[in-house]
A and B are shown apart, each in its own frame.
Chain A
Amino acid sequence: MPEIKNYTMNFGPQHPAAHGVLRLVLELDGEVIVRADPHIGLLHRGTEKLAEHKTFLQSVPYMDRLDYVSMLCNEHAYVQAIEKLTGIEVPLRAQYIRVMFDEITRVLNHLMWLGAHGLDIGAMTVFLYCFREREDLMDAYEAVSGARMHAAYYRPGGVYRDLPDSMPQYEASKIHNAAAVKKLNENRQGSLLDFLDDFTRRFPTYIDEYETLLTDNRIWKQRTVGIGVLTPERALALGITGPMLRGSGVEWDLRKKQPYAAYDKVDFDIPVGVNGDSYDRYLVRVEEMRQSNRIIKQCVDWLRVNPGPVIATNHKFAPPGRESMKQNMEELIHHFKLFTEGMHVPEGEAYSVVEHPKGEFGIYLVSDGANKPYRLKIRAPGFANLSSLDEMVRGHMIADVVTIIGTQDIVFGEIDR
């Protein structure tokens, strides 16, 4: 009987550590991985093809559903591509609102990542802590757009509406009596900006809590130090971007290097790793949360004292206000044309990028002048990151696959599109 040395094992797609619908075919030599073949596409919905059959505005909510833990960053890249082609000027206040919500999104994403990554490796408490703070930020989403996750808040030319003056309140129920609800609602008495201001003051101590649990934790270090090491040259060649690239020591952040929106007007630092292992990527992302908190704070301060329009006044692309529409024939026609036929984006092509929490999220938009995109290509950071999985797991033990999937911060909404 021949001796069988290597064997293959199927991992996922219903494995809790597969972060959605990843199916991995692992070739093993004992407990050591020889080859990993990710099978993706189980969540493929054909977003790019669908967008070719929708008007430009109708595709905005599809963007939320790409990377469904960092919704507004996806939208930002999409509306920015349209703005680039049409040349619409975005009001400064809208740019600050976008920066603020991009950073809220980044914190949301990193909290989700930290919680799930911790849970994969065996740290349950971090998950509970992270979701506690996510709740506050999702309430900010709700206050501004009415939806906790799929906001559809950005529009070509600005944002849908200005920041609200009040926050949604908790109501008394069987679980929380009136006294408990009063305490929960304490920081929700003012406007959204007051609430976020309060959050930015509380958040650094929360990050300290996560770090107390993990940064010097012996088990955490044993599971992450030296796992999935990427050299800077290799990371660049593999098309890796974002915190994974920075974890390898490449100081590359689009918010600094190719600033968009109001990022050149706010002050923040780029954390960079040294060793390029999972532990460094963890440190980079935790520090990014602190920097995001700084940016949110600066945006809150700016937005408090600088009222103004939040969407462009060019009604070929941005709808007129409700009131003027009811009094003015011209505005009524614009509104009608905009929502029946949609905007016509001039012929041309544009590639717009944002520094998404996972890396470089790009929208390559080709328009032939019609009211629908001719081709929309979504450059998903997770797609390139996951393609390096095979190389990163080779030679590691099977338990480290889970760490490496976690450290890549993959979300199938964007990878499969």
Chain B
Amino acid sequence: MTTEKKSLREELGSLLGAQLVSVQERLGELTVVVRAADMLSVLTLMRDAEELRFAQMVDLCGMDYSEYGDGAWEGKRFAVVYHLLSVVHNSRLRVRIFAEEDDFPVLASVADIWPGANWFEREAFDLFGLIFTGHPDLRRILTDYGFVGNPFRKDFPLSGHVEMRYDPEQQRVVYQPVTVEPREVTPRILREQTYGCN
């Protein structure tokens, strides 16, 4: 298993070289970071190159790093994480691509490389407000019709902004600002890594 991983890492290095911003291997998983400008050529190569053959894009995940480590994050805010699978070589690869601008995150769509990415990109657009240029049909997918906002961004509250109720006077369903108090049962605690390891 480890020798295979090694060779995958070497293959990536020899094929892509300078186009990889960083290559990291942890817990038996290989992660590469690619610049947004190079993403289409790099991902197409990952799909087609005989040594890689990542024919399947298993998962596409939007990320918002703004509160990572309680403010310790210094990189770009938004990223998309692709999980690729090669059925031929039985290998997996994680590719992370950061969006250049934090205010208006834009990436290229990979729906032409893997048609299965279509809905995954719609989901990232819906939940994080990431724009995918070249996507055939970029609509909201999981949230309600007419929903406002990007619920999975870290600055979006868990209880949301509006609630819905039936108004007997107007005899229809109305939206109003949320009335529930935000409640945290267990606070989020970030301790130093050596805590309790004496």
Q: Indicate whether A379 sits within 8 Å of B191 (C-beta atoms), given known contacts A50-B158, A53-B158.
A: no
Question: Assuming A236-B55, A316-B196, is B118 touching A387 (CB within 8 A)?
Answer: yes
Quick check: B90 and A388 within 8 Å, CB to CB? Answer: no
Complexed CA–CA distance, A293 and B186 (Å):
42
Flag whether A268 is at the interface (Cβ < 8 A): no
- Once the chains are docked, how many angstroms separate the CA of A236 from the CA of B83? 14
- A48 touches B (CB below 8 Å): yes
**Closest approach, in angstroms, between the C-beta of A117 and any C-beta of chain B?**
23
Interface residues on B, range: 35 or more
A221: Cβ under 8 A from any B Cβ: no
B165 within 8 A of A: no
- Cross-chain contact B94 with A351 (CB below 8 angstroms): yes
Q: Is A308 an interface residue (CB 8 A)?
A: no
CA A316 – CA B115 in complex, angstroms? 43
- Using a Cβ–Cβ cut-off of 8 Å, how many residues does chain A contribute to the interface with B? 56
List of A residues within 8 angstroms of B72 by Cβ? 368
Q: Judging by beta carbons under 8 Å apart, are B56 and A379 in contact?
A: no
Judging by beta carbons under 8 Å apart, are A368 and B87 in contact? no
Would A85 and B186 count as touching, CB distance under 8 A? no
Are B68 and A379 touching (Cβ within 8 A)?
Answer: no
Bound-state CA distance A386–B55 (Å) is 19
Q: Please tell me if the beta carbons of A368 and B92 are within 8 angstroms of each other in the complex.
A: no
Contact in complex: B191, A237 (CB < 8 Å): no
Among B102-145, those with CB < 8 Å from A are 114-120, 123, 140-144
Tell me if A139 counts as interface (CB < 8 A to partner B): no
Contact A371 B119, beta carbon cutoff 8 Å: no
What residues of B have a CB within 8 angstroms of the CB of A349 in the complex? 26, 29, 31, 94
Q: Is the CB of B83 within 8 A of A369?
A: no
Which residues of B sit under 8 angstroms from A129, Cβ to Cβ?
A: none
Give the residues in chain A near B190, CB-CB below 8 Å: 368-370
Complex interface residues of chain A between 348 and 381 (CB less than 8 A to chain B): 348-351, 360, 362, 364, 366, 368-372, 374-375, 377, 379
Given A41-B143, A236-B56, A239-B116, does the pair A371, B186 have CB atoms closer than 8 Å?
yes
B81 at the interface (CB under 8 A from A): yes
CB distance from B151 to the nearest CB of A (A): 6
Closest A residue, CB atoms, query B73: A368
Q: In the complex, which of the residues A252, A316, A344, A375 contacts B191, with contact meaning CB atoms closer than 8 Å? A: A344
Cβ proximity bits B178-198 to A, threshold 8 Å, 1 near / 0 not: 000000111011110101100
Is there an interface contact between A239 and B186, defined as CB atoms closer than 8 Å?
no
Report B182 CB to chain A, min CB distance, Å: 10
* Chain B residue at minimal CB-CB distance from A37: B137
Tell me the minimal C-beta distance from B119 to chain A in angstroms. 4
Closest chain A residue to B57, Cβ basis = A239
A84–B27 CB distance below 8 A = yes
> Are the CB atoms of B94 and A347 closer together than 8 Å?
no
Contact: B189 with A370, CB < 8 Å?
A: yes
Inter-subunit contact B141/A41 (CB<8 Å): yes
Q: With A41-B141, A368-B69, A384-B119 given, is the CB distance from A379 to B59 under 8 Å?
A: yes
Q: A296 an interface residue at 8 Å Cβ cutoff?
A: no
Measured between beta carbons, the chain A residues less than 8 angstroms from B119 are 383-384, 386-387
| Binary flags per residue of B16-58, CB closer than 8 Å to A gives 1, else 0 | 0000000000110101000000000000000000000001111
Interface hits, A60-111 → B, CB 8 Å: 84-85
Smallest CB separation, B136 vs chain A (Å): 11
A256 to B119, CA, bound (A): 29
Residues of chain A within 8 A of B92, CB atoms compared: 351
Q: Is B97 among interface residues, defined by CB-CB distance under 8 A?
A: no
CB contact under 8 A between A417 and B87, given known A84-B27, A388-B116? no
Is A44 an interface residue when CB atoms closer than 8 A count as contact?
A: yes
A residues near B58, Cβ cutoff 8 Å:
239, 241, 360, 362, 379, 384
Residues of A within 8 A of B184 (CB): 53
Q: Which of B81, B114, B186 has the largest number of chain A CB atoms within 10 A?
A: B186
Determine the residue in chain A with the shortest Cβ distance to B119: A387
Residues A366 and B69 in contact in the complex (CB < 8 Å), given A46-B151, A347-B193, A350-B29: no
Closest to A362 in B: B59
B99 at the interface (CB under 8 A from A): no
Q: In the complex, which residues of chain B have a beta carbon less than 8 angstroms from the beta carbon of A346?
A: 193
User: A44-B142, A387-B116 given as contacts; is B59 within 8 A of A250 (CB)?
Assistant: no
Q: Does A85 lie within 8 Å of B57, measured CB to CB? A: no
In the complex, which residues of chain B have a beta carbon less than 8 angstroms from the beta carbon of A233? 55
Is A257 part of the contact surface with B, judged by Cβ < 8 Å? yes
B residues within 8 A CB of A50? 158
Chain A residues positioned under 8 Å from B185 (CB to CB)? 54
Contact with A along B77-103 (1 / 0, CB 8 A): 000010101010010101000000000
Measured CB to CB, the residues of B under 8 A from A are 26-27, 29, 31, 55-59, 61, 63-64, 67-70, 72, 81, 83, 85, 87, 90, 92, 94, 114-120, 123, 140-144, 151-152, 158, 184-186, 188-191, 193, 195-196
**What are 11 inter-chain pairs, A to B, with CB distance below 8 A?**
A48-B152, A258-B90, A344-B189, A349-B29, A349-B31, A360-B58, A360-B85, A372-B186, A383-B120, A384-B120, A416-B142
Q: Ordered nearest first, which 4 A-B pairs have the shortest CB separation? A: A239-B116, A41-B142, A387-B119, A377-B61
